[in-house]
Amino acid sequence: MPTRPFAALLFVIASLAHSHPGGLDSQGGHIDRATGSYHCHREPCLTLHRQQQQAEQEAREQNRAFSGLYERKDWPHWLDQDGDCQDTRAEILIATSQVPVTFTRDDRCTVATGRWHDPYSDTVFTSASELDIDHRVPLRHAHGHGGDRWDESLRRQFANDPANLLPVSASANRSKGASSPDQWLPENRSYWCQYGQHWQGIKQRYQLLITPPEQQAIESLLATCQVAQKRP
């Protein structure tokens, strides 16, 4: 996993959009090819860089203020909402498997095997026990960006919304934690376009706050969609 995903994302976008043998790009900066880092030398790059650092600091302070109030138990999830003994996790695994699933017992409550493609790591899994169900927009993140004012019904809806749920490797899900796209990205870069689309869609659907660094990351992710379309 990249330790600085947003920096890596900016590098990819800048490389694709501003490839050049030397000199400064239109923003007043350039890629240091020896280190892979982006350097600012003149305006507007210098001002944009300062603004980004300030916005990131404000976002970190805001998240710390909210983090102490979040309680996972206040977001009911993995519910058996239709009374068939299959909870949300099981139903997502059944719906997304590329082959018919098997179950651990005759009651067909718990999924045992199937075939799932994890787009975060671009890996195929056949054992359900190796998978977590990721909340694309994490519960803790949602809480800190407007969900703290929701009633229990809306928190329950969000926590079990299939549009916000995705089977991924347990290691990828735990690496992501409650991070937003400016803090963490999937290692599979070919999924960045869809990752940005899903994140933006969920945020808009539930009218959750988007911080400036988060918005910048989303825009960069969506820019990869345009790059992919231009490839032969």
- Please say if the pLDDT value at position 124 is more than 90: yes
pLDDT band at 227 (very low <50, low <70, confident <90, very high): low
Is-above-0.75 flag for pTM? no
**CA gap 225, 62 in Å, rounded:** 30
**CA gap 186, 192 in Å, rounded:** 7
Contact 63, 104 (CB under 8 A): no
**Contacts of residue 66, Cβ cutoff 8 Å, sequence gap at least 6:** 143, 144, 145, 148
**CA gap 216, 10 in Å, rounded:** 10
Tokens of 99: 């082959």
**Which SS3 state, helix, strand or coil, does residue 32 take?**
strand
Number of domains forming the structure of the chain: 1
**DSSP β-bridge partners for residue 49:** none
Tokens of 228: 């992919």
Cis-peptide into 162, omega within 30 deg: no
pLDDT of residue 20: 42
Span 72-117, pLDDT tens digits: 999 999 999 899 999 999 999 999 999 999 999 999 999 999 999 9
Q: Of 131, 21, 124, 144, whose CA–CA distance to 71 is shortest?
A: 144
pLDDT of residue 30: 63
Span 1-52, pLDDT tens digits: 444 555 555 544 444 444 444 577 766 776 555 544 456 788 877 776 666 5
Percentage of the chain exceeding pLDDT 90: 66
**CA gap 96, 167 in Å, rounded:** 8
Average pLDDT, the chain: 84
Quote the domain boundaries for residue 154.
Answer: 5-230
